[in-house]
Structure 1
Amino acid sequence: MAALLGFFVFVIVAVVVLAIIGAILRALVIVLRAVGILCVAGALGAAIGLCAAAFGVESEYAWAIGLIVTVLAAAAIFQRGSSRWRRGWDAREEVFPVPVALEPEAYAGAIEPRAERKVSKAWEQLTGMLPAADVRGLNRARDACARLLAASDAQPLALELMETAVLIRRNLPELAHRNASLWSDADEAERAGLSAGIVADVALLEKRAEGQLSALRRNRRDDLHAIRNHLAARIDEGA
Structure 2
Amino acid sequence: MDAEEFRDLIAPFLNPSAQEVLEELFRDAINREGDLPAQLRHARIVYCLQRLASVRATGPLETILGALRDFPDETDELCSYLLSMCEADPRGVALICGEFLMGTSCMTDWQQAWVLRVLSRCVSSANEATVDAVTGYLSEPARGWLPRLEAARVLAANGTLGAEDARALRTQAPEAYKSDIAGLVAANHDRLPWSESFLDGIREDHLADVVIKGIIDSKA
Q: TM-score, normalised by structure 1?
A: 0.28
Larger proportion of helix: 1
- Specify the structure having the higher radius of gyration (Cα): 1
Q: TM-score, normalised by structure 2?
A: 0.30
